């Protein structure tokens, strides 16, 4: 795919994930999801990429061979042809060396600590002022205002009449810190939360960080969301400090891919505002795209090349940088040839796990705008289930406004500007998945009827049925 070159970088670097202690608590009250515990568990933990044709019996042989060589916690990810395992060194061989000689194994890499791509820094002098209320005192979601018009100034309009389905029939898997489904912004929205049984998190997957809820709110919140009728599944892979293991992220990707493989006519998006460095993400992204899962990921906030990080560097996902209110590149956004487009990400107003709304900044906030836009396109498109990443990217960037040398993600509010349907894409050959994930839509919470919105609108303008009224805004954000 074509990547876009940047002409300038922002001015300040962001510190990497803070160093954490590696001592493991031994008392009975140890928090298995703590960052310290995660770091300790990385020892001898590996992520194995299998050959693309290693399915079925081949995967069974690999699992047996790993066990025979002393590996434990062997977790096969059959759809993406990956394996998570703990392989202690044997006879001087490293953890990576132990599985490398097994037939069917393509690559072995160490597990890693990963983190979400939100920016926790205080405002700086010279930062652009972002309004959080309109002239009537109502919450103002400037990102929604920006992504449906080609030029500035913003017109306070959020209509997208070419996309009246508003994401209906699209499943968006948010691989992040979980979600807070009880938030008023999710009333009337089809949302469920979970954590995979191999992770250290409670299976309910409730957000204790706030990152995943904010992201999901931008995708499909009833007022904050680009595609409020999309179905959201929040998969918790990050802890309360915003850290997680690469192997848990891989398992989250597998869940989304297995859902698509089991439901070939489904329209599936995988949204991950997470950064790591493992090379296995490249193979995972390629295989997800082949199956038909559209990946939207954050470029990162290190003021450097996005190509240094995964999954941002993959050519098989849509990598999103952070644009500001004046269509400039936000000062800490990653850039470079691995960034496909930009979307609003500075002081984006969305869900707070305390029950209100809060602004957050970072490419983590940019990527879910694109996930929502992709849901609008796929929901409306007659061949939405067959679209691949390049198809969706082309639609999002046709006649797009520019952020420096990069296109900005948008959807035209004029049906005459809607891109034509691409040629049909042949159905992919999908390897047989393991245990089939449940087929849903998830029902709306009991007693909460679906929201009826003005056709083609991102923004409702009235409280959802059953809510206590408008959300309370914090005094300062």
Q: Residue ranges of the domains in the chain?
A: 43-110, 116-417
36 in Cβ contact with 21 (< 8 Å): yes
Task: Looking at the structure, give the CATH architecture of the domain made up of residues 43-110.
Answer: 2-Layer Sandwich (3.30)
Q: What is the pLDDT of residue 447?
A: 33
Q: What count of residues does the chain have?
A: 477
Q: Which of 13, 41, 50 is nearest to 244 (CA)?
A: 41
Q: What is the pLDDT of residue 431?
A: 47
- Model confidence over 426-446: pLDDT tens digits? 554 444 444 444 333 332 333
Q: Is the peptide bond before 352 cis (omega within 30 degrees of 0)?
A: no
Is the pTM higher than 0.85? The answer reads no
Q: How many CB atoms lie within 10 A of CB 251?
A: 23
Q: How far apart are CA 111 and CA 246, in angstroms?
A: 6
Q: Which of 211, 248, 281, 369 is catalytic?
A: 211
- Model confidence over 349-383: pLDDT tens digits? 999 999 999 999 999 999 999 999 999 999 999 99
Q: How far apart are CA 148 and CA 288, in angstroms?
A: 28
- Model confidence over 286-337: pLDDT tens digits? 999 999 999 999 999 999 999 999 999 999 999 999 999 999 999 999 999 9
DSSP 140-191: --HHHHHTT-SSSSP-S--B-TT-TTTTTTEEEEEEES-B-TTSGGGTTS-E
Q: What is the pLDDT of residue 162?
A: 82
Q: How far apart are CA 367 and CA 19, in angstroms?
A: 26
Q: How far apart are CA 275 and CA 151, in angstroms?
A: 31
Q: Which of 276, 201, 186 is nearest to 238 (CA)?
A: 201
Residue 332, sorted as left (phi over 0), alpha (psi -120 to 50) or beta, turns out to be alpha
For 467, counting Cβ atoms within 10 Å of its Cβ (0-12 exposed, 13-18 middle, 19+ buried), the class is middle
Q: Which of 44, 145, 171, 176 is catalytic?
A: 176
Q: How far apart are CA 299 and CA 306, in angstroms?
A: 5
Provide the 8-state DSSP code for 271.
E
Verify whether residue 176 is a known catalytic residue: yes
For 144, counting Cβ atoms within 10 Å of its Cβ (0-12 exposed, 13-18 middle, 19+ buried), the class is buried
CA-based Rg of the chain, rounded to a whole angstrom? 21
Q: How far apart are CA 154 and CA 136, in angstroms?
A: 16
CB-facing half-sphere around the CA of 462: CA atoms within 13 A: 7
46 in Cβ contact with 86 (< 8 Å): yes
Q: How far apart are CA 104 and CA 101, in angstroms?
A: 9
Q: What is the pLDDT of residue 18?
A: 31
Q: Which of 343, 342, 461 is nearest to 405 (CA)?
A: 342
Q: What is the pLDDT of residue 476?
A: 33
11 in Cβ contact with 303 (< 8 Å): yes
310 in Cβ contact with 297 (< 8 Å): no
Q: Which of 476, 461, 471, 458 is nearest to 158 (CA)?
A: 458
Q: Which of 382, 386, 381, 404 is nearest to 396 (CA)?
A: 381
Q: How far apart are CA 436 and CA 157, in angstroms?
A: 42
Domain 116-417: assigned CATH number: 3.40.50.200
Q: How far apart are CA 11 and CA 333, in angstroms?
A: 10
Q: What is the pLDDT of residue 128?
A: 77
DSSP-derived pairing of the beta strands 105-110 and 45-50: antiparallel
Q: Which of 266, 275, 333, 364 is catalytic?
A: 364
330 in Cβ contact with 345 (< 8 Å): yes
Task: Give average pLDDT by consecutive 10-residue segment, the chain, 477 residues.
Answer: 32 28 36 88 96 98 97 98 96 88 96 86 65 82 94 83 92 99 97 96 97 98 96 98 96 98 98 94 96 98 97 98 97 98 97 95 98 97 96 96 97 59 49 42 32 35 36 36
Q: What is the pLDDT of residue 415?
A: 60
């Amino acid at each position: 795919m074509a990547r876009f070159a940047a002409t300038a970088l922002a001015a300040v670097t962001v510190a990497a994930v803070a160093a954490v202690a590696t001592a493991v608590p031994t008392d009975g009250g140890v928090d298995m999801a703590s960052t310290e515990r995660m770091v300790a568990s990385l020892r001898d933990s590996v992520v194995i990429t299998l050959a693309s044709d290693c399915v079925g019996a081949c995967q069974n042989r690999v699992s047996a061979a790993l066990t025979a060589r002393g590996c434990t916690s062997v977790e096969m990810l059959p759809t993406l042809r990956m394996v998570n395992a703990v392989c202690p060194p044997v006879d001087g061989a490293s953890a990576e060396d132990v599985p490398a000689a097994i037939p069917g194994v393509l690559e072995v890499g160490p597990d890693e600590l990963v983190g979400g791509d939100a920016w926790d820094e205080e405002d700086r002098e010279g930062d652009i002022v972002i309004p959080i209320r309109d002239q009537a005192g109502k919450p103002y979601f400037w990102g929604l205002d920006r992504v449906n018009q080609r030029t500035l100034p913003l017109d306070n309009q959020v209509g997208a009449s070419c996309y009246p389905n508003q994401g209906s029939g699209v499943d968006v898997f948010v691989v992040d810190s979980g979600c807070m489904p009880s938030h008023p912004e999710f009333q009337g929205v089809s949302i469920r939360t979970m954590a995979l049984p191999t992770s250290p998190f409670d299976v309910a997957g409730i957000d204790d960080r706030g990152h995943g809820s904010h992201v999901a709110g931008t995708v499909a919140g009833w007022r904050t969301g680009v595609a409020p009728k999309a179905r959201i599944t929040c998969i918790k892979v990050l802890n309360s400090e915003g850290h997680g293991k690469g192997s848990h992220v891989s398992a989250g990707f597998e869940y989304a891919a297995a859902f698509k493989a089991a439901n070939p006519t489904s329209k599936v998006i995988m949204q991950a505002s997470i950064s790591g460095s493992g090379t296995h993400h490249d193979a995972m992204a390629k295989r997800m795209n082949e199956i038909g899962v559209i990946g939207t990921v954050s470029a990162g906030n290190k003021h450097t090349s996005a190509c240094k990080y995964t999954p941002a560097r993959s050519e098989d996902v849509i990598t999103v940088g952070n644009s500001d209110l004046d269509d400039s590149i936000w000062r800490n956004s990653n850039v470079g040839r691995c960034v496909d487009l930009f979307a609003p990400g500075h002081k984006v107003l969305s869900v707070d796990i305390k029950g209100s709304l809060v602004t957050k900044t970072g490419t983590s906030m940019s990527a879910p705008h694109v996930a929502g836009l992709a849901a609008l396109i796929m929901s409306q498109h007659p061949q939405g289930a067959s679209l691949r990443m390049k198809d969706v990217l082309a639609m999002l960037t046709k006649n797009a406004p520019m952020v420096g040398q990069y296109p900005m993600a948008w959807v035209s509010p004029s049906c005459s500007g809607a891109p034509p349907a691409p040629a049909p894409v042949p159905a992919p050959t999908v390897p047989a998945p393991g245990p089939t994930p449940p087929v849903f839509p998830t029902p709306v919470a009991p007693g909460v009827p679906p929201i009826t919105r003005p056709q083609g609108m991102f923004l409702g303008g009235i409280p959802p049925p059953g809510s206590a009224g408008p959300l309370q805004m914090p005094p300062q954000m």
